Amino acid sequence: MSNIYISIVSHYNCEDIINNTDLVKINKFDNTNIIIRDNISSERLKQYCNKNGFYYNTSKTPLGFGANNNRNFNFASNIGMNKLDWFILINPDVNITSDMLLELYNSVLKSKNHLFAINLFSDQKLTVMEQSLRKYPSYLSFFNIIKGKSFTEAYNKKDLNDGFKVEWAAGSFLVFKTELYKKLNGFDESYFMYFEDVDICYRANKKLNEKVVYLKEIKAIHKGAYQNRNIFSPHFKWYVSSLLRFLFKRVFGGRA
């Protein structure tokens, strides 16, 4: 039986993790391991993880999203994760029930694919679908700024069938076969924040012919702050610089 390794990176997300009681239920599955990477060390979070049997590790200095998940991947490898297992990235502000995670596990086991995304919602009643599945940006994406739209075009998830393959999905919830993540060398750490998820999905597609498979019936709630939408925030600057980095690498060749 393959195992599940869940990677959660906390950046002042202590309360999100502690208040997420579903994580405790999920961690009781025999084949599931939850790894918390604390980007800003919190003694309270460390104690909570120890109490509930979560693996806890921390950064001496803050790292980017991709770098932290890569560290969690290495941590998982050191405690026994192998190429047949599953490495799942979950944002600390995402809530998925234990029943949904079990359904997710059964779905990926039946598939020959190695990269998946689920159906994220922004409300408790699961009525508002998050625009978490998108198409690759291009230089023409900058015209979207003038139009007041997002840089990248979102798929209409209501029109997609279960199992539909998309170009990329948000890193707030991504499922990798361990073997694929290793072949990709994980995330490109030159991205500090934003577009590292676009980049890894792009490389999976172009280098290894692995597209993101949409699991429509697997649902979770993402509270998401969307700080990049405030043009006066550092998040917006990181977002634009990461977009430029992705476009440059896409044209002139990126990390294999």
Q: Which residues of the chain have pLDDT under 50?
A: 227-229, 231-232, 254-256
**What's the confidence (pLDDT) of residue 164?**
98
Pairing of strands 86-90, 4-10: parallel
| Residues 6+ positions from 199 with CB-CB distance below 8 Å | 187, 188, 191, 246, 249, 254, 255
**What's the confidence (pLDDT) of residue 19?**
96
Quote the radius of gyration of the chain (alpha carbons, Å): 17
| Residues 6+ positions from 115 with CB-CB distance below 8 Å | 174, 175, 176, 177, 180, 201, 204, 210, 211, 212, 213
> To the nearest whole percent, how much of the chain has pLDDT over 90?
75
**What's the confidence (pLDDT) of residue 246?**
78
**What's the confidence (pLDDT) of residue 93?**
96
Alpha-helical (H) ranges within the chain are 14-18, 21-26, 43-52, 65-78, 98-110, 143-146, 178-183, 196-208, 234-252
**What's the confidence (pLDDT) of residue 153?**
86
Which of 91, 107, 115 lies closest to 180, judged by CA?
115
**What's the confidence (pLDDT) of residue 138?**
72
Please tell me the distance from the alpha carbon of residue 105 to that of residue 101, in angstroms, as a whole number.
6
| Residues 6+ positions from 183 with CB-CB distance below 8 Å | 208
**What's the confidence (pLDDT) of residue 232?**
45
| CB-CB contact of 133 with 241 (8 Å) | no
**What's the confidence (pLDDT) of residue 145?**
58
Domains assigned to the chain: 4-252 (3.90.550.60)
Please tell me the distance from the alpha carbon of residue 151 to that of residue 254, in angstroms, as a whole number.
20
Cα→Cα distances 52→73, 206, 220, 225, Å = 20, 40, 22, 27
User: Letter for the amino acid at 138?
Assistant: S
Average pLDDT, the chain: 89
